Structure formats: structure tokens, C-alpha cells
Structure 1
Amino acid sequence: MGLMCRQLGLSVGQAVTCSRLGTPSRQGLFQDGDIIIGGLFTLHYQNPAAYHNFTQKPEYKPCTGLDYVSLQYVYSMVFALEEINLSKTLLPGVKLGYHIFDSCGQPLWAPQTILSLAGGDSATCNFTEDSTQNGEEIKGVTGHHPVPLIIGGASSVTAEIQSRVLGPLSISYISTCSCLSDRIQHPVFFRTIPSDFYQARAFAQLVIHYKWIWVGAVVADNNYGLSAIKIFLEATQEAGVCVSFTEKVNSENIVSDAKRAALTIQASTARVIVVFAWYTDVRELFLQLAKLKVTDRQFIASEAWSTSGDLLQDLVTRKVARGVIGVAIRNSTIPGFETFLRSLNPVHRPFDGFLREFWETEFKCSPGAAAIALLPSQPSNVSASVSVQGASLSPCSGTETLEGLKNLLTDVSQLSVSYNVYLAVYAAAQALHSLLSCPNRESNSTCSSPNSIKQKELLQHLNKVNFTTPRGENFYFQGADIPAKYDLVNWQTTPEGTQKLVLIGRVDGFDIHLNESAIQWSSGTNQAPTSVCTESCSPGTRKTIRKGEPVCCFNCIPCAEGQFSNETGSFQCEHCPSEFWSNTNRTACVPRQLDFLSFNDTLGITLTTAAVFGATVTTVVFLVFLCYYQTPMVRANNSELSFLLLVSLKLCFLCSLVFIGRPSVWSCRFQQAAFGISFVLCVSCLQIKTMVVLAAFRSARPGAEALMKWFGPSQQRGSVCFLTCVQIIICTVWLSLSAPEPKRDLGFQGSKVTLQCAMASVVGFSLVLGYIGLLACTCLLLAFLARKLPDNFNEAKLITFSMLIFCSVWVAFVPAYISSPGKYSVAVEIFAILASSYGLLLCIFAPKCFIILLRPEKNTKKHVMARSA
């Protein structure tokens, strides 16, 4: 390719603008020396637009938009090299030079520059004559050996291309991608900035510490952003952190990407946004958010923009970026650097194109003519170049100075990256010093010289670098990396409305130390924001994941009865122990309330009233029968059995009261015995009365007179006693062997534990109930046979109806008793007792009392003995 060079001259440093046909423009800063150190920086952030018509090679114009921060990085390298050249202990007798280039923020443009540095073709422009200044001889640069080492690249992408494709030995000051720590893939790469692995882990610790489980992410669309967010996700996965969105931004399409990311942030419910991107990309993102008036997000900044003075001083993005918390490269000081910066002047460095551009931008004048006028003679093309470059600006007066000027170049309050450049230069110098230190150089043919430095040998010495920094810290490499140390910074608003950086903590490896009281959040208060998809489920509820959504988005479902959760955000509810039940809020288990059929319950009061009323009515009937004892209606069909039946019915009513109240050992035994014996006595009386009716009518037949002698009063009393004694024996044996005992019923799930009489032996209860049923069925059968006997008042009909009711009640009782829980099973048994008792009382004695009290004319022997029609 042809080469066109515009030589601007040479002093302590020289700047050359060289254009290769069909290749991007390159602007550089040069200083000759025994050993040349390469430098690669991103000094311009506005990329040139190139028109491609595919009919001829594209013409590339120079980049624009000088980045003052990156310019400070350049001068930190220059300062370090000049400081080393003045040292009497480090590389004595060896002068270090530099060839520094601008990669223009384009990773794909960097290889050409790197190739020039690595291949020895970084300065091929020649002077046609020598020139002098201040008594020094100035010679043109006619070429040089390959640089043994490069300080750069200016980004992780550039460093990866540089290391993978071209492979020069390099020390980066800002490439943080964790991928670059792989010594197999990048064996000749070093850096003076920690790996993003530790930064991403620090982000994860912050997010987990403040329980931000719903966060958004904006990352650079390259290895820097993608690897960082991958590490962040891996570190937060076990803590249940979800990423609402991940927006990628590319510097080449930053406006459209920033708009898309801003709209996503506006639409998302995530209040905390993690940003891994270059500060120029973040600037555009904040501009778009300012247009959308999104000012309530808490941003977590990566080291690439956490200390950006450009963003801190931007009036437009100030509201958007309020309260930013960032991981920053550990800040430090460089002794004498501020004095060096403020002494910079194009009058003393007339061929420093970067300084000249800065001067024109800052002072709005052209320093070119005044600077070149100091030279005794210059080629015609030089003066022409200067006049063209400064045609639109008036010449500078020469009194302009950086003393007292406040801008990003002279601001030394945040020298973190500049200090990294400074350390990189010193690490290179220490390795060169170790390599060139040869005690017997003249006799030892294996000693290296400045003109014969081999990359492999320098690599070995660079791996062993170990020196003390100006901060008094021990500097050394761990593979490609240095020990991870970060500052945690916070963007805080001052009373004047400006923003400042405040140190709030530090990161040492995997350990994070935070002063939470010093933080000012995006809300302007000391209260940390919350960022959740769904508020944590309160105690008493559990999480249920929403279908198709991340685990951080869920619904809160109350715990079921008998379950509880006493923690916030519980995934499941725990079952209470058997004797406990969950409280109203389902937050704890409380002892179950002891429950039994009490006299104070509504149900207990109702049953008690019914039992007392039945016993009272039975007593009234007994008194009526006693008052009308001599009447035919009472005397008919054995009045003695009628009185015994009324007594047994009264006992049946009263025995139901034994089932009500707190169960005890004696009440459990007595209630079943009283129930069984009372009903057997009652049914026995009815059975004997029915048998007497049948015998009376059978004895009226010829030859059956002797039948009645078996059913005399004594026989009737004896039969009732016998039938009752059978039940007494059954109850005695049952209660002796396996009596019911009070027991807590835990089977019924509820807030109450039922205290009831547990049937230890179902067989005993079945025998008692079965015997009553046998007598009732027998009585029903006999009464049914005697229902049509020709009496005007046939008591067998009344017994038939009463026994039908009795049997129906007790047949229905069995399934109802088995299926009723807790105290309701006791209520079912009491109801059966009362229903059957009322059935017997009403069916048998109500008609008789009606005649006795209301139809006394029918209470005659003639009427009672008369045959019915």
C-alpha cells in the first residue's frame, strides 16, 4: 500500500498522522529510546462514518470527540516512562521510549495498530532534514525494532483480539473480562486491573445482601458484558435472584440500543438495574431514560463507568443517575502527576497532536503557529498542515495554561485507571530491569541487550515481577491477574445540587465491607429500595409459582387449617403436631381447645331441655295414672306394668343427661349401663304387656283356660326382671373387662380436640345394643300379631306404632353414630334415646291420657271391653 505522511516535527515526543490508502487513519504519540514500549488507548469516542459503494476502497476519516479521561491515561504512561528514565536505580543507562496509538474505540481497527507495533512498522514517516530545538539534535524516525511489550488494549474485546490473533506481550490497564484469565488461551496477557469475576461476585453479594430478588441488567454486547452477567447469574441463582430482563447494547448502534433498553427499563417492575457497559454507552442510556422521565431506578455500576466524571457532571442525566452504587477500581495517588499534567503546554510539546487538539477544544484557539514558530526551520508541508488545522481558530496568545483549570484531564481525584497504567509501565520496567541485569555482560554471551529482547525471556521475568507500589503495597501477578481489590462508591447529591463520589466500602477478593449508614439511595434517603416481582409472602401463607413466570413471581396462598408457616417467603406450610392446631393467622400452632358436649353449648342446652321436658311429662303421666288408678283405662292390661313402664321411660330420659358434660371414668361407665338397662326394662315391659294381651284373647278359646296361669302378676314381674337381668349381666361383664374410658379424639382435624368416652370394646357395646334390638323386634312382632284383636281399646296397636318408631330410630342411629365426628356422635346417641323415648311415651300413653282427662265418658269398663266395629 502506498504511504502518505505528514510530518509535524519531533521534540521530546512527536505526533505523526499517517494515512494508509484504504485503511483507517492513525494518530500517534512517539518518543524514541533504547527500548520502545507500545501503547494502545481509546482517545476518541466518535467513530467516523465510512461510505461503502463497493467500487473503490473506502476512505476513512479520523475519529473525533477527544476523550479527556483517556488522554489522562496516555499522560500517566508518559509520566511513568519519563520518571523511570530519570531513575538511577531502575534501568540505569537504558532510555525507554514509547509509541502510543489511538484505537478509536473500534476493536476491529486495533489489529492494524497492534500489527504495526509488534512488527516494527509503527513509524515509517521520514524527515528530509535534521532540525534542532533548544540545542538538542532532532532526528527523523526511520523505523524501529518490534516493541517488546504493549500497554493496552483499551477494552476487553481489543485485548482478546490482541492476545488471540497477534499474540504480543501486553499489560492491560482496563481489560477486565474474566475470559482473559485463561492462561491456555491467553498465555502472554497480563493486567493491572482485577478480573470481572470478582466484580460480578461483588454485585451478587450486594444484591443478595439487600434482598433484591428482581433485577434488570444492561450489558455490553461483548465478552466484557456477557461474561460478567453470566458470572452474576451463577452467583445469585442459589439465592433465588431473578433477572427481569437482559438488554444488550453495542457501541456501533448505541442510540437505537439505548432507546430499546430505556423502554424495557421503563416497562419493567424491577427497581434495581445492574449495568456492565462502557461509560459512553451508559451516557446514551441515561439520556434516553431522562427523555422518558424514568428517575426512580437504582443503578449498580461496573468499574467501567462507576467513577466517570463525565457522567457525574452531566446535568441531563443527574436525576436518572442519582444514588448510583458502583464497584470502582481502587483509587490511589501518583506523586508529582498533577504537577506534570498542569505543566503540559503545546509550546513545549509542539508535535503532540493530542495535546494540540485538547488545547483547541478547551481554549478555542490554535496553538500550532506559535509552537512551530519556535523551530528554526520546518518543511513546507508542516506549516501547511498547521495552518489548515487551525484555519477556523485564531492563534493562541501563548499565555494559556492548565494551572487552575478544572476538567477531566487535570482532575486527579480519581486516578484509579491512570494508576493502573502507571503500575503497568512500572511492571514492564521491573521485568526489563530483571532481564537486562547481567553481572558479567561483556563476558556472558547469553545476556540480553536492549536490541535483542526476546518475548519468551521477558515473559518469564514478567511472571516473577514483585515490587512495592507508591502506596506501599506489594505488587505481583497471579497468572494474568493481580489480587482483586475494589472500592465501593456512591453517587451522592450535594446541597448545591451537584453530584460527588463518596467511598462507602471496599472489596477484598470475595470479602465485601460496606458502610451502609453512608449510602444515599436513588430515593435521596438512607432507606434501601426494594426490588421484587412479588412482595414476600407473609407468615401464615406460602408461595405458589405462577405458570410460565420466573420463580421470583408468585402468588401467596394462605396455609390450610392445621398448617402454619412462621417465616416470610415460605414455600410450604408445616403440619401442626396432633394435639395442636394452627391459630387464626396460620402463623403458629396452639394447643387444641378441649371439646365435649357441655351443658353450656347450644346443642347441650337443647338436648338437656328435651330430656328434662320428657322426664317431666313422664312424671305428669305417672301422676295422672296414679290419680286415676281405679279407672278402667288405667287398670286395663296390668296397671302395674304401666307404672313400671313409666318409671323406665323416665329413667331413659334422665340417662341421656349422663352423656352431657365432661366425660370421666365413672360417667363413661355409668352412661352406657344406664342406657342399656333402662331401655331393656322399658322394652321388657312392653313385650310382657303384648304377651299378656295375646294370652288373654287366646284363653277365651275352648280348652285354653290354663294359658293365663302362666301370665299372672307374679309371672309378669318375674319375666321383666329376668329379661332385665340379662342386660345387667352383659353390662357387668363388658364394664369389668373393657369399660369405656375418657379419651382425646385426635382423628377429627379441627381446632378442638374432642374428649369423649372411647369404646375400648366394640363387641360389648354391640351386645348391649343388639340385646335391646332383639327384644324390640320380638315385641314388634308380637304387637303386630295382636293389632287386630277385637277390643275397642286394643293396646297392641299402640305398642305396634311405638315399636315401629323405636326400631326406625335405632336402625338410623347406627350409621349416623359411626359417621358423626367428635361430640356429635354423643349428640346422635342422646337424640336416639330421646326420640325413641318420646315415641314410646306419646304412642302408648297419649291416647290413654286423652280419654282419662278429656273423654271421661269413655273411661268405663263397658267401653273398654266393648268390641270395635
Structure 2
Amino acid sequence: MKKQMGWELEGRCSYKWVLYILLLLLLLPQTVHNVPLAGCNIGEPLPINHKYYQAGDVIIGGIISQIFTLSNPVRFKSHPSHELFDDIVFITQTYQHILSFVFAVKEVNENHQSLANLTLGFHIYNSHFVASWSYLAAMELLSTWGRFIPNYKCDVQDNAVAVIGGPYANICFFIATILSTYKIPQLGYGSAPVMKDESQGRFFKRMFPDEAHQYTGIVQLLLHFSWTWIGVIFIDDDSGHMFLQAAIPIFSQEGICFDFLESLPYLYFNNDIYEVFEKWVAIYKVIMSSTANVVVVSGENYTMLVLRMFPRVSEVEDVPMKTKAKIWVMTAQMEFSSLPFQRFLDIDIIHGALSLAIQSKDVIGFQKFLQMRKPSSDKLDGFLRDFWQQAFNCMFFNTEVEKENEKICTGEEKLENLPASVFEMTMTSHSYNVYNAVHAVAHALQFMHSSISKHRAMENVVRWELLKQQPWQLHHFLSSVSFNNSAGEGISFDGNGELVAGFDIINWVTFPNQTFLRVKVGKIDPIAPKDKVFSIAMDAIVWPHIFNQVRPLSLCNDHCHSGYSKGKKEGKPFCCFDCLPCPEGKISNQKDMDDCFLCPEEQYPNEDQDLCIPKDLTFLSYEEPLGISLALVVLSFSFITTLVLWIFMKHKDTPIVKANNWKLTYTLLLSLLLSFLSPLLFIGRPIKMTCLLQQTAFAIIFSVAVSCVLAKTIIVVLAFMATKPGSRMRRWVGESLANSIVLSSSLIQATICTMWLVTSPPFPDLDMHSMTEYIVLKCNEGSVTMFYGALGFLGFLATVSFTVAFLARKLPDSFNEAKFITFSMLVFCSVWLSFVPTYLSTRGKYMVAVEIFSILASSAGLLGCIFSPKCYIIVVRPELNSRGQLLRRNKRI
């Protein structure tokens, strides 16, 4: 089997040690069965081989899981002690719990001012990690020392006033099952038992803070490092299930998801070794194939034994690995523990791990007390010799051993020379809890003594009354106890019987010589102000070697950087998501944002969509090329119009000018001149006055121009009809008709514009939305209805004029302008028909440019089509500008 598993153990480690770790777990928390009490005869010496007794006036009991005794299953055919193997498995680290118990009692006894000169004694029993021995130890505390007579005590001083138990939840539960019936106060210094009913926990105090503080602290630790993708390992028992029910919802509410939730098996004595091994392999494969770099471990003191076996599993089995190391985040119930054969195993797996530990301080004198510990220092210590042999890997002479290749214990070995993986010289958090538990009982006794002293005058009477008090009477004083221990730490219990304390955050640092350091890197103080409850020194943390001192990440996928938002990934937990680019116009300026958001109105997104940039103010100005170009075009057409007007005024007596109704011609040219100049109102920074004049001036001026063209067209048609014999149209041909058409059309447009200005006039406005990068300063039309009403009336005039001119384009008259007017109105209508969709699809200052272009183009169409042929004759072909020439042309037509 040794060859099959591939475990090569050094030193004196033999095949049996390979089985120890497996049998260890097989012996761990069991249900109540195989209780050896049936094999014990009344009054017969107890079969508990490992116990520690010190006489005193007042006794404190201790039931501590320390040693495994490997035995066959009890079949009730003989005394259980007769079926034990000779081999024992000693968890050397746990021996410190016993020594801290002894040290605390020693301190109390040396303080002559307490307990009315009474001395404390103790009975400490090994529970063997199982229910049967725990029950047996509890029953012996109810018996006379050295004889198993349950419920009988021949000496009142032999009564245990309180019992300290641990470090496992089930051990405390087994103890409470018996001792709660007798109302004996109990103090558990490790994991909390899950009591089945209220009566079991009524006399139970826990040297451990409220679990909710621990869960919150772990969440704060994970969130501080942004570890939102984790794995969880827990013990498959009542404590593990309580952790799942209480902690997992808190994790989820804070945005932490789980790649896996795996339970270490709750094992029974008759489990098959290979089934256990296969379970380890399965769990280790899940852990190492996970993409989560962080694994939260909710365990017991012994869980470290299993954790340290994981690397051996990888040597035996082909385990796929996503990463070669994990960051273990361990609960405060866990401590470093190992079996004898594990001293040869590497402890690098816990390098860089983080764990919580109950807040503690160094106890003065404890290390010196440990240094003085020798096998010869206390003959009543039933644990010391076995501890010494397994800690120093030696054997005493009086022990039945194999003589060959065995190292002999001298008894002069020094505990400080042991590596920390075997025994620690600094007080651990569990030992600190045991130390405080003893002092809590001592202070409760002192308070009870003070209470009795108020009613009794004689010291001897007080002393006797104190000894006669029942254990349940001490419970009241224990509940209200509050004191400072020798390290200056305040000790008290809350209303639920739990220790009022915080947690230290511990960073585990290992070394090649099988030793390690627990480095305090932070703390969780529930009673501190909200912003100081959690604190941690980032620079003090040592990470696993694979991360090269770079803070590890533990995410389901990479962060969504700025400019992206998270999108749900179907079939995955909420911590797993796709990164979607922000839609146009939105940004995200932080990692892992759930949604992108719009910039404020006065800002716009940058190209990467991760920042809002202030918009620049823009308008069509004379300082930019477009504004300058349009202004030059305006001035050019205005000059040309002025030149045409000058030509007509200079040649006003020529036939071609007279034939074109010079008053209408001058009015048309003046309106065209103003039309060409009106775009200047659109260029430059909009102000209230320019906004009022822009659209209204343009509408009225163009109405005059178009009405002049309409009047010209109608007069041409009427003039042709008046040449027919007997026609009555002659009386309509004249200036009055032309003036009426121009005035009436202009008046209607002026009325529309007046109503516009009165009801909802244009005004300067800031357009935040039409252009992404600019705030457009423009003139708001005010009433869109009135704007399009004025534009529609102008279109109506143009349409009528175009229709009439088109019908009259072929009239046989040399003075007929109809065909030129037709072309001009065709240009005019085409420009303004294309203006509407172009104007609506353009944004910002370019809307103004489109309107200016339409004004210039339509005005230029009228000027060019109507006046360019006449100017050509007047200037270039003056010989054609005569009555005779025009009559000859008329005859040819």
C-alpha cells in the first residue's frame, strides 16, 4: 500500500503511520454509539489513561481532545481498554491547550488576593475525539476521583464547579448533553456546538465571539481584495451546515459567487479507507481544477491535517491544475495541527494563507513556563510522556519499544528547539481562550465570594459557604463576569453567552525547516466605529510564491474595463459576465459597471467611452472658413444685384426696360438685394434682435420678391389677352393690379410674422443634443407652426407664380418674360423643396448654413433667370434694344 500511494516517509515513519491519518478521520466526530460504560464495573478504576489531576479547594474540569487511541471496534465482549492497540496518535500542538490551562490555574493560585485563600485545582481528561470517551469523562467528573461511581461524591471539594471543553463542536455537544442535566457551567473554547434544544445550551458559555462578526469579517476581507469568485470547503456536520445557512447568503448578498461548495465527509468508524482516500482525491481535483484562486475553509482544529494531505494526493493521482497554488482563507476555529508522520511533509501549502483568529495578546510568563516544562516536572501529567516521545521522536527506557534504531528520550530536550509544525512556543488563539476561560471561572468565584461576604462576617464561614455553593449558582456570576486579564485584554460575555471580542487577521508564512510564523496583518473590531471595523496592512502580507508578491485576483473572468459594461452570461453565476462595449453616447468610467450612463448635457463621451469631455460652444461665425465664405458670397451677389439695378436705372428709357414695368422691376431688384443681404443676420453669435429678424425679415422680403414675380407673370398673361379684339381685359392691365398683388401678398406674410412675434417669438437657445461634441448656440424658432406657416405661404406664392408662368411660357410676344420666369421659379421651387428635408437632417451650425445657401440659391435663380437675358441685351447687344428691332422680332414670331 505504501508503494501504491507513493508516500515516502522519512525517519522512523513506518507503514502504520500512513494509516494513522486515515484512521484519524475515521475516529473524528461520531454520533453516540459504542459507549464503553457498559463494560465498566461500579467502583472500578476508570479506563481513561490520559488525564491530568491537581488537587485544590475548588476544581475546574477540563475535557480536551488530545490523543487518539487506535482500537478495534468495541463489541461489548470485553472491557474496552483490553481491545486498544498499543499505538497512540498524539496531536502535539493541542498539548499547548492543556499547558495554558495549567498556567492559568498557577497564576490564580499565586494571586493570594483572590478566592478567600482557596486554591484552584483541575481534572483534565482526554476525550479521544469521540462521543464515548467524552461521555465517560463527563461522568467521571460526577464521580469520586479515581473511582467510577456516577452521581456520588464523598468529598464536596472534589466537585467540578465548571468544565472547559473543546476544541471541537461535537465534543462540546457531548459534554453539554451530560453536564447540562446537572446544571454545571461549561465553557467551550473552540467551535460552537449546535444545540438541539434550549436546555442543552442554557449553561454553556462560548469563548468565541458571535459567528456573524466572523462571517462579516471574511466578506470584508474578500471584498477588500476584490475576490468575488471563490470556492468553499466545509465539514459535513451540524457546524458545517450552520456555516452554509448563515454565511453563504451573506456572501451572495455582497456579490460573491461560488465556483464550488465541497464538504469534507462526516466520517464513521466503519468507513472504508479507500473510500476516504477517493473522497480526498475528488475534492482535491475540484479545488485544483477550479479557476478560483481563493478557497474559504470552514473547519475544525483537525481540518489542517486534511489540508496538508492534499499535496500528497496530487502525487498519487493525476490531478489537473488550473493554478499550482490556492489562497486559503480559514475560519478562526482552525489551528495548525499535524500527526507525527506529517512532520516530514512540506507545509508550503499554507504559505501565504489568510485566517481569522480570536483577538489576543501575548501573555507574560507563558513562554518561560513552557521552557521549564520537563517530563520530570509534573508526575501527575498523564499527557506529558506521550507528548514528549512523539514530539521529539524518541522513546523512554521504561517503555516497551523496539530496541533497534530507536532514539532514547533523555528528558532534557527543550521545547523551544521543536519546529513550529510540531509545537509552538507562542500562545495560540485556542490556548488563549482556555487561559481566559480559567480566569473567567476564577473571577466568577471571586464575585460569588464577595457576594457571600456581604452577609457573613467570619472568613471561615465565608470559605465554607463558598465551597457549599452549587455549580448552577456560579452560572449567574459567570454570565455577568467582566475583567481584564494579565495581558490587559477585557473579557466579558454578551447576552447570548458568547465572548465579546474581535478577530485578528493572520498571514501564514512558512519556511523550509518546517516552521512558520503567524503574522498579524489586520483586525476586525465589531465595537469600533463603522469606518474602522475592518483594517488591514496590505504591504505586510506575504502571498504564495507562484504569485511573485503580486496581489492575486480571484474572478470568474477578467474585469470589464472602463468603456464597457457587464452583460449576463447565460447558465453562469452572476459573477460571470460578458464585457459589452458601451452604446454610442454613453460611457462607463469604472471597472465592472452594470450599465453605461449618459454624460451630462454639457459634456460628451471621448473616443474610448470612458470619460466625459466638456463640449465647446459653437455657432456660425465670421472667424471660420464657412462663415467667411458665405459672407463673401453674400457680398458678391449683393454687388451683382446692385450692378443690375444700376444698369436698369441708367437705361430706364430704353424699350426693354419700359416693356418690363420698371416699378415692379425696381421693387424686385430691391427685394433681391435685401434677400442677398439677409443671410448676414444668420452669421455671428445669435442675440435676441438677430433671432427676431432672421426668419421674419427673410419671409417678408422673399414674399415681396415672389409676389413681384407673380405680378409680372399675371400682367404678361393679361397683356396678351388684352390684345385680342373686343377683350375686356385691357382695363386690368396696369400698375394698380401689380401693386395690389405685391401689397396684398406682402401684407398677408407680414400678418403671419406679426402673429409669430406676438405669440411665440424666436429666441437665442443652446442646443445640447444635435451635435455630440458641441453646444450649438442658435436661434430657436419659437413656434415651429408659425415658422412653417410663413415658409408655406412663401411656397404657395412660388407655386402659383410657377404655374401661371408655365402656362404662359409659349405666348407669341417678343416682350413675353414668361419663359424666363418659368425657369426662375423652377429653380426657386426646387431649392426650397430640397431645403426642408436637408434642413431637418442637418444639425448644429450647418442648419444655418443650409438656410443661407437656400436663400442665396433661390435669390440667385430669380436674378439670373429673369435679369441676365435683359442685361445681356442692354449691355452687350444694345442694337437689339430698340422698338423697331423688337417689332421685327415680333413679326418673325
Shared fold per TM-score greater than 0.5: yes
Compute the displacement of 1:433 (Å): 7.7
Deviation for aligned residue 1:804: 4.5
Map 1:191-230 → 2, pairs under 5 A:
191-228=206-243
State the partner residue of 2:396.
Answer: 367
Name the structure 1 match of 2:825: 803
Match of 1:327 in 2: 357
How far off its partner does 1:156 sit?
1.4
* Residue pairs, 1:283-682, within 5 angstroms: 283-288=305-310, 291=314, 294=323, 297-305=326-334, 316-318=346-348, 320-322=350-352, 324-328=354-358, 330-333=360-363, 335=365, 338-339=368-369, 342-345=372-375, 349=379, 354-362=383-391, 366-367=395-396, 369=398, 389-391=400-402, 399-403=410-414, 406-407=417-418, 411-425=424-438, 427-428=440-441, 454-460=470-476, 462-463=478-479, 469-471=485-487, 475-478=491-494, 480-492=497-509, 499-511=516-528, 512=533, 514=535, 516=537, 519-522=540-543, 529-533=552-556, 546=569, 549-554=572-577, 571=594, 578-579=601-602, 581=604, 592-599=615-622, 604=627, 638=661, 641=664, 645-646=668-669, 648-672=671-695, 674-682=697-705
SS of residue matched to 1:742: strand
- Between the aligned partners of 2:810 and 2:703, the Cα distance in structure 1 is 26
The change in CA–CA distance for 1:164 and 1:716 in structure 2 (over 3 A counts) is same
Bigger fraction of residues in helix:
2
For 1:204-283, what aligned pairs fall within 5 Å after superposition?
204-228=219-243, 232-233=247-248, 239-250=254-265, 252=267, 256=278, 258-283=280-305
Greater shift in the superposed pair: 745-754 or 80-89? 80-89
**Counterparts of 1:160 and 1:270, CA distance in 2:** 35
User: Which residue pairs with 1:73 in the alignment?
Assistant: 97
Q: Is the 8 A contact 1:76 1:419 kept in 2?
A: yes
Deviation at 1:152, TM superposition (A): 1.2
Structure 1 residues 47, 541: CA separation in 2 closer, same or farther (over 3 Å shift)? farther
Q: Secondary structure at the match of 1:190?
A: strand
Name the TM-score, length of structure 1 as normaliser. Answer: 0.74
Which residue identity does 1:682 align to in structure 2?
A
Q: How far does residue 78 in structure 1 lie from its aligned partner after superposition?
A: 5.1
Q: Deviations over 1:503-541 (max 9, x none)?
A: 445555544575627613306788755545566666666
TM-score (norm. length: structure 2): 0.73
SS of structure 2 residue aligned to 1:744 = strand
Q: What's the C-alpha RMSD, in Å, of the aligned pairs?
A: 5.4
Distance 1:230 1:313, change over 3 A: farther
Supply the AA of the counterpart residue of 1:491.
Answer: W
Q: How far is 1:70 from its partner?
A: 1.8
Three-state SS of the structure 1 residue aligned to 2:351 is coil
Q: Which residue number in structure 2 is paired with residue 375 of structure 1?
A: none
> How far off its partner does 1:155 sit?
0.6
Q: Is the 8 A contact 1:744 1:753 kept in 2?
A: yes
Residue 829 of structure 1 corresponds to which residue in structure 2?
A: 851
- Matched with 2:5 is none
Q: What is the letter of the counterpart of residue 65 of structure 1?
A: V
| 1:157 is the counterpart of 2:170 | yes
Q: Deviations over 1:23-69 (max 9, x none)?
A: 999543254858765432222369768699xxxx9977577421111
Tell me if the contact between 2:809 and 2:818 (Cα under 8 Å) persists in the aligned partners: yes
CA–CA distance in structure 2, aligned partners of residues 125 and 767 of structure 1: 113
**Which residue number in structure 1 is paired with residue 19 of structure 2?**
none
Quickly say closer, same or farther: Cα 1:603–1:29, change in 2 above 3 A. same
User: How big is the shift at 1:187?
Assistant: 1.0
The aligned residue for residue 380 of structure 1 is none
One-letter amino acid of the counterpart of residue 725, structure 2 = P
- Quickly say closer, same or farther: Cα 1:510–1:339, change in 2 above 3 A: closer
C-alpha contact 2:561 2:591 (8 A) present in aligned 1: yes
Name which one, 1 or 2, has greater alpha-carbon Rg: 1
Q: Distance in 2 between matches of 1:323 and 1:657?
A: 77
SS in 2 for 1:175: coil
**Residue 707 (structure 2) aligned to one of 676, 684, 703:** 684
Cα deviation digits, residues 422-445 of structure 1 (max 9, x gap): 444455566678879896999999
1:662 deviation in Å? 2.8
Confirm or deny: 8 A CA contact 1:791 1:867 kept in the other structure. no
For 1:805 and 1:743, the matched residues in 2 are separated by 33
Relative to structure 1, the CA distance from residue 76 to residue 394 in structure 2 (aligned partners, 3 Å threshold; closer, same or farther) is farther
Change (3 A) 1:845 1:60: farther
Q: How far apart are residue 484 of structure 1 and its match?
A: 1.4
Equivalent pairs: percent with the same residue? 30
C-alpha contact 1:215 1:244 (8 A) present in aligned 2: yes
Q: Secondary structure at the match of 2:390?
A: helix
Shift in CA distance, 45/661, structure 1 to aligned 2, threshold 3 Å:
farther
More moved, 219-228 vs 728-737: 728-737
Deviations 1:454-482 (A, max 9, x none): 44345445446566644465655445333
Aligned match of 2:127 in 102, 110, 131?
102
Paired amino acid for 1:274: V
Aligned equivalent of 1:382: none
Distance verdict in 2 for CA 1:304–1:256, change over 3 Å:
farther
User: SS at 2:186's partner residue?
Assistant: strand
Q: Hey, what's the Cα distance between the residues in 2 that align with 1:854 and 1:549?
A: 86
Q: Which residue of 1 aligns with 2:776?
A: 754
Q: Structure 1 residues 663 and 330, CA, compared in 2 at 3 Å: closer, same or farther?
A: closer
Deviations 1:168-197 (A, max 9, x none): 635345323385799665012124444444
1:865 positional shift: 0.9
Cα separation, 2, equivalents of 1:782 and 1:518: 91
Flag the 1:762–1:334 CA change in 2: closer, same or farther, 3 A: closer
Shift of the 153–766 alpha-carbon distance from structure 1 to 2, 3 Å rule, reads closer
Describe the shift of the 1:815–1:66 C-alpha distance in structure 2 as closer, same or farther (beyond 3 A).
same
| Counterparts in 2 of 1:42 and 1:476: CA distance versus 1, 3 Å | same
What SS class does the counterpart of residue 152 from structure 1 fall into? strand
1:726 aligns with 2:747: yes
Greater shift, 668-677 or 152-161, is seen at 668-677
Give 2:190's match in structure 1, choosing from 175, 198, 219: 175
How far is 1:608 from its partner? 5.4
For residue 65 of structure 1, give the secondary structure of its aligned residue in structure 2.
strand
Q: How many residues matched?
A: 809
Cα displacement (A) at 1:295 = 5.4
Name 1:703's counterpart in structure 2: 726
Deviation at 1:764, TM superposition (A): 6.1
